[in-house]
Amino acid sequence: MSFRSIILERKGFEVKFGYSMRSRSQSHSDAIAQDSLVVLDGLKQSCWANMPPELLRDVLMRIEASEDSWPARKHVVACAGVCRSWREIMKEIVKSPQLSGKLTFPISLKQPGPRDSLLQCYIKRNRSNQTYYLFLGLNQASTDEGKFLLSARKCRRATHTDYIISLNCDDVSRGSSTYIGKLRSNFLGTKFTVYDAHPPIYGAKVTKSRSTRLVSLKQVSPRVPAGNYPIAHVSYDLNVLGSRGPRIMQCVMDAIPASAVEPGGVAPTQTQFLHSRIDTSPSIPFFRSKSTRMDNLPTVPLTCQNEGTLVLRNKSPRWHEHLQCWCLNFNGRVTVASVKNFQLVASPKNGVSEQAQENVILQFGKVGKDVFTMDYQYPISAFQAFAICLSSFDTKIACE
């Protein structure tokens, strides 16, 4: 039975049963109506939530296997939204991006990308309102159509610049329930910090920041205080002499061990959003302070004590005598020369093999007016890759 026929059968059942409910006599309206609602709820649960697990698993596995790309993959997400039992089975069936190479659920954006291949995405910039949109590429030959993934909005401050990152393309603000993190730069645009709005699965301290002040009690969880969790740092070398040349950048991934780039290496993988913004009782006390920290929560390093953090550097371009410009091999994914273009590889500081140092983990480049490609792979996630690419857009007073 196809997914469409399942939905049509469900709709027909609900309509027919609802009609029989309305045909009951008014004399028994109070007692019978209440009992009927219970019966109706029980029947709906028996038809969907209480399906035989073997049959349900077989149906969902066939749907997941057949809908392997967007937009048809929306049916997989629809199945996960039917009820809790369907959702739990779907979470078991749908593999993480590193195994399947697919972005299915929102949490997939926080999970490492596929191994041994780059996941192709692109970014569109809207200069009028300083917003950026990340899309999953559905067609390698065109960037006109794609699956929306993330959005970001640039917010200039007196001493720094923030890029607010959201799951919603229309509501990009820290007060939104779809806010998942931000990128913050210093005044010169040479140093950036990537913050995650949700506490990592391995624990982290929330940093001192004005943004940790609470907007309202309804936005804070009593279990996890709201705050900024630093997960990566991006830095650009100063160019005080003004000599023309490619940018030199370095990324320190606080949440990823250096061994993750080696064959068989493992990077932390989030399986669900640990929300720090859910409705709470107003009786719980909260304090407005710049120095709010998670000192009462278990704090462990972002990576193991005996392992260093992953350091990425931009791949050095070569000078092309005939073209009179710096060149990198993007394998056809970048077509317009720009100082923003870069490829990130593992730094020799990690002590990894030479082969691991040549493997491109993230590449970003211009293909048209306000259109850029973004390709990434294991061990970084789409959220981390998007934040790093946003740093390339920012004005760098002392780098150019």
pLDDT in tens, 164-204: 999 999 989 888 889 999 999 998 888 999 999 887 665 44
pLDDT band at 292 (very low <50, low <70, confident <90, very high): very low
pLDDT tens digits, 320-334: 778 777 788 898 899
Q: Among 33-37, 123-127, 306-310, where is mean pLDDT lowest?
A: 33-37
Per-residue model confidence (pLDDT) at position 396: 62
Per-residue model confidence (pLDDT) at position 76: 93
pLDDT tens digits, 11-52: 444 433 344 434 444 444 444 444 444 444 444 454 677 788
Q: Which of 273, 277, 346, 271 is nearest to 314 (CA)?
A: 346
Per-residue model confidence (pLDDT) at position 130: 93
Q: What is the mean pLDDT of residues 274-293?
A: 38
pLDDT band at 233 (very low <50, low <70, confident <90, very high): very high
pLDDT tens digits, 196-225: 988 766 544 555 444 444 433 344 444 444
Domain boundaries, the chain: 47-94, 97-201+226-262+306-399
pLDDT band at 119 (very low <50, low <70, confident <90, very high): very high
Per-residue model confidence (pLDDT) at position 278: 37
Per-residue model confidence (pLDDT) at position 288: 34
Per-residue model confidence (pLDDT) at position 318: 84
Q: Which of 262, 168, 261, 179 is nearest to 226 (CA)?
A: 179
Contact between 72 and 40 (Cβ < 8 Å) = no
pLDDT band at 241 (very low <50, low <70, confident <90, very high): very low
Per-residue model confidence (pLDDT) at position 114: 95
Q: Does domain 97-201+226-262+306-399 have CATH number 2.20.25.10?
A: no
Per-residue model confidence (pLDDT) at position 357: 84
How far apart are the two ends of the chain, measured CA to CA in Å?
61
Reported pTM: 0.77
Per-residue model confidence (pLDDT) at position 327: 85
State the DSSP string of 322-363: TTTEEE---TTS--B--TT-EEEEE-GGG---HHHHHS--EE
Cβ neighbours for 118, distance < 8 A, ≥ 6 positions apart:
360, 363, 375, 376, 377
Q: Which of 136, 141, 174, 139 is nearest to 155 (CA)?
A: 174
Q: Which residues of 358-368 are buried (b: 16+ CB within 10 A; e: fewer)?
A: eebbbbbbbbe
Q: In degrees rounded to 5, what are phi and psi of residue 370?
A: 65, 25
- Better-scored residue on pLDDT, 325 or 121: 121
Using left for φ > 0, alpha for ψ between -120 and 50, and beta otherwise, residue 370 falls in left
Q: In degrees rounded to 5, what are phi and psi of residue 176?
A: -80, 150
Q: What is the mean pLDDT of residues 239-255?
A: 75
Peptide bond into 225 cis (omega under 30): no
Length of the chain: 400
- Match 């002392």 to its residue by tokens: 398
In sequence order, what are the beta bridge partners of 312?
A: 251, 346
Per-residue model confidence (pLDDT) at position 247: 81
Per-residue model confidence (pLDDT) at position 299: 36
- d(Cα 281, Cα 283) in Å, to the nearest integer? 5
Written as six digits, the tokens of 276 are 């720090």
Contact between 276 and 218 (Cβ < 8 Å) = no
- d(Cα 311, Cα 169) in Å, to the nearest integer? 31
Q: What is the mean pLDDT of residues 371-382?
A: 96
Q: What is the mean pLDDT of residues 66-73?
A: 90
- d(Cα 50, Cα 31) in Å, to the nearest integer? 27
Written as six digits, the tokens of 90 are 């779907």
Q: What is the mean pLDDT of residues 283-305?
A: 37
Q: What is the mean pLDDT of residues 96-101?
A: 92
Per-residue model confidence (pLDDT) at position 290: 38
Contact between 198 and 276 (Cβ < 8 Å) = yes
